[in-house]
C-alpha cells in the first residue's frame, strides 16, 4: 500500500482528540491513551512518534482499507504480539510513560 499524506491524515483523524488546545498543537491520543504528535508520523526517535497499524494484520487476511488502519504510538505498535494490542506506553498527565 502506498502511504500518501491523505492516508496519514485520514488515519490520524481516528485518534482521540483531547481538547481544542491540544488539537491546535497537533496532539491526540492512541487507543492506549499515549500521546502522539501529528508531525512526528513515522519517527521512532521521538517520544510522541506514531505509526499506522493494521488492526488485523495483512498476514492474517487483513487489508489496507481505512477501516483496518489505526494510529498507534510507535512503541505500542512495536509491542503488538500475535496481532493483539499491547500498551507499552500510556499517558500520565501531559507526558508519556512506560506502562
**Containing structural domain, residue 36:** 5-98
pLDDT at 81: 82
> Over the stretch 36-45, which tens digit does the pLDDT of each residue have?
999 999 999 9
All three cell numbers of 53: 497499524
What's the rounded mean pLDDT across residues 48-64?
94
Determine what percent of the chain falls in helix, strand and coil, rounding each to the nearest 5.
30, 30, 40
In sequence order, the 6+-apart residues with CB closer than 8 A to the CB of 58 are: 64
pLDDT at 32: 98
All three cell numbers of 57: 494484520
- Give the total number of structural domains in the chain: 1
Give the whole-angstrom CA distance, residue 41 versus residue 71. Answer: 9
* Prediction pTM value: 0.94
> Over the stretch 5-45, which tens digit does the pLDDT of each residue have?
999 999 999 999 999 999 999 999 999 999 999 999 999 99
In sequence order, the 6+-apart residues with CB closer than 8 A to the CB of 80 are: 53, 86
pLDDT at 21: 97
Amino acid at each position: 500500500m502506498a502511504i500518501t499524506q491523505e492516508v496519514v491524515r485520514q488515519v490520524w483523524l481516528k485518534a482521540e482528540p483531547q481538547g481544542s488546545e491540544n488539537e491546535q498543537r497537533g496532539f491526540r491520543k492512541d487507543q492506549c491513551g499515549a500521546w502522539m504528535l501529528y508531525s512526528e508520523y513515522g519517527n521512532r526517535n521521538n517520544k510522541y512518534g506514531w505509526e499506522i497499524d493494521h488492526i488485523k494484520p495483512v498476514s492474517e487476511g487483513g487489508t489496507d482499507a481505512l477501516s483496518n488502519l489505526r494510529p498507534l504510538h510507535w512503541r505500542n505498535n512495536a509491542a503488538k504480539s500475535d496481532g493483539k494490542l499491547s500498551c507499552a506506553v500510556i499517558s500520565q498527565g501531559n507526558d508519556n510513560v512506560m506502562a
